[in-house]
Amino acid sequence: MIKLNDYLYSGDTVIKIMHSYADDLKKTAYEKSNIVDLEHYDYLNGISDLLEHNDFLTSQSKRIIEFYKFMAEKYPYLAFTIKGRIKSLVRAEEKFNRNLVVFINEYYEENGCFPEPAQMRDSVSDIKDIIAYRIVISLPKCHVKEGEVREEKESEYLYEIAEALPKFLEERDFTAQKTEFAEKKPSKRLNKDILPYYKDYVEYPREYGYKSLHVAFYDNQAKNYMEVQLRTKEMDDFAEIGRANHENYEQLQAESGSAPVIEKGKCVYYDEAYERLNALQNLDLAKVDVNMFGAVNNMLINDGCGFFRGRLILPYEHLSRFQNDLID
Rounded CA Rg of the chain = 21
* 143 burial type by CB count under 10 A (0-12 exposed, 13-18 middle, 19+ buried): buried
pTM over 0.85: yes
- Altogether, the residues listed in the chain come to a count of 328
Name which of 139, 129, 134, 132 is nearest 234 in CA terms.
Answer: 139
pLDDT in tens, the chain (328 residues): 999 999 999 999 999 999 999 999 999 999 999 999 999 999 999 999 988 887 878 889 899 999 999 999 999 999 999 999 999 999 999 999 999 999 999 999 999 999 999 999 999 998 999 999 999 999 999 999 999 999 999 999 999 999 999 999 999 999 999 999 988 999 999 999 999 999 999 999 988 899 999 999 999 998 999 999 999 999 999 988 876 554 554 455 455 445 678 889 999 999 999 999 999 999 999 999 999 999 999 999 999 999 999 998 877 778 776 544 444 4
Name which of 189, 138, 191 is nearest 167 in CA terms.
Answer: 191
Q: Walk me through the domains of the chain, giving residue ranges and CATH numbers.
A: 56-283 (3.30.460.10)
The secondary element (H helix, E strand) that includes residue 65 is helix 56-74
Phi, psi of 53 (to 5 degrees): -120, 75
